[in-house]
Amino acid sequence: MSEQRCDRRRFLQAGAFAALGLTLADYLRLTQTNAAPARGKANDRRAIHVNLAGGPSQLDTFDPKPDAPAEIRGEFGVVKARNGERFCEHLPKLADCSDRFALVRSATHNLGAHAPAGLFLATGNRPLPSLLYPGYGAVAGREKPAPRDLPPWVSIPDGGSAGYLGVAHNPYAVGGDPNAKDFGVRSLSLPKGFPAERLARRQRLAAELDAFGDGDRSDVIRGLDRFAEQAMAIIASSRTRTAFDLQQEPRRVRDLFGRTTFGQSLLLARRLIEAGVRFVSVQFPVTWDTHDRNFTRLKEQNLPMLDRGLSALLLDLEQRGLLDETVVFVTGEFGRTPRVNKDAGRDHWPHAFSMLFAGGGVKGGQVIGKTDATAAQVSERPVTPEDAAATLYRLLGIDAKKEYQTPSGRPVALVRDGKAMAELVG
């Protein structure tokens, strides 16, 4: 392709992106894309990953110790769950649907800081300073491509990275609050006064330029083309716009999930999964980093939101026949100290914490692993973040030992260590 033709087609693409509200910096970042071809699998499962950022207390959620001393057990009582276990008293709805999910009480690692621990749980690989591993959604989107007019990985409201897979596999970040009255996804609508036909003309002109010298285009240009084509297909798709439109849901369903940011985020996640999106990440809107006022903050805010929203998601997926084909994975980056501190809070504790798996063929009602009398250490069946990642990938029909190549040509397995939990994958 001649330099003049290259400049003309770049100008046309840049004009289209600018019209859609993307900045020059966005455009320049996109030009660094060198997307690898997607590879499909026969298994059609999708997934929702719920991230309880900040690290929820295992004692004040799914692993209470009511017989421990007061400075350990804390202020909350317990409720008997349907599966015979005891949960925190402020999780009655989850206790009542405990037969729909598997509880892992023996998750463990040794990274006590938020950033590295968060990356560990978001990728299934212990962080390295020299390499950023891809998030689960990036791998799922690459291995199991979504329909052309849907983003393969959506993050609500944002967060997550494709790491060494490159920006083409980053999540589509919703931004904003799904519970807000004026919630909408800006990039799914054309600016006022910019007709769809005008955008289509720019696409056709770019395609005509592509007809000349296609064989000598660089990988960068081809990568940008793939990104641009998907972006335009998404914008033009009525299916995508409908999936993001929570106003389509009956009031009773919206109320079931709870009129909170978290509840409506989970409802949006369900709509996206139902539409065909492969992977949705949902970030809990309030931190679980309760170094002070742990019991007040959990009782008044975190636990009611989690209880109502997550239980509604599981029941709604089940009623719609979607639970068997949708893996729901819930975790924070670590747990919290058994002993309550002087500020009525709990500090970071990676040695023992809980996580949940549901759907995707997982047998509900199971409890995997145990902790000791104070929930300080795992006493039975330790489960590492690598094990959890290997389990998630197996449930999605992805080989966790499959090797990708980094931009430098280095072969790297999706999960360096870890083994899928036989109790969950069959």
**50 - beta bridge partners?**
282, 330
Hunting for tokens 């069946």 — which residue is that?
Answer: 381
User: What distance in Å separates the CA atoms of residue 336 and residue 270, rounded to the nearest whole number?
Assistant: 30
What domains lie within the chain, and their CATH numbers?
Answer: 1-31+196-243 (no CATH), 38-185+244-425 (3.40.720)
Q: Is the peptide bond before 56 cis (omega within 30 degrees of 0)?
A: no
Check: CB of residue 33 under 8 Å from CB of residue 223. yes
CA 421 to the chain's CA centroid: 20
Non-local CB neighbours of 335 within 8 Å, separated by 6+ positions:
55, 56, 57, 58, 107, 349, 350, 351, 352, 353, 354, 375
Q: CB-based contacts of 103: which residues, under 8 Å, 6+ apart?
A: 62, 85, 354, 356, 366, 367, 368
CA distances from 249 to 91, 186, 253, 312 (A): 25, 20, 6, 14
**Rounded distance, CA 89 to CA 104, Å?**
19
User: 158 with 283: CB under 8 angstroms?
Assistant: yes
- Cα gap 293→296, rounded to integer Å: 5
pLDDT at 201: 59
Structure tokens at 55: 């690290």
**Backbone φ, ψ for residue 275 (5° rounding):** -75, -20
CA-based nearest residue to 324, from 41, 43, 42: 43
Side-chain half-sphere exposure of 305, counting CA atoms within 13 A: 22
Q: What is the pLDDT along the chain (426 residues), one digit of tens a residue?
A: 444 444 444 444 444 444 444 433 343 344 333 333 333 333 689 999 999 999 999 999 999 999 999 999 999 999 999 999 999 999 999 999 999 999 999 999 999 999 999 999 999 999 999 999 999 999 999 999 888 889 999 999 999 999 999 988 999 999 999 999 989 775 555 444 545 555 555 555 555 555 555 555 554 455 445 555 655 566 667 788 899 999 999 999 999 999 999 999 999 999 999 999 999 999 999 999 999 999 999 999 999 999 999 999 999 999 999 999 999 999 999 999 999 999 999 999 999 999 999 999 999 999 999 999 999 999 999 999 999 999 999 999 999 999 999 998 999 999 999 999 999 997
**CA dist list (Å): 297 to 76, 259, 304, 335, 376:** 12, 18, 10, 16, 22
Return the CA Rg of the chain.
23
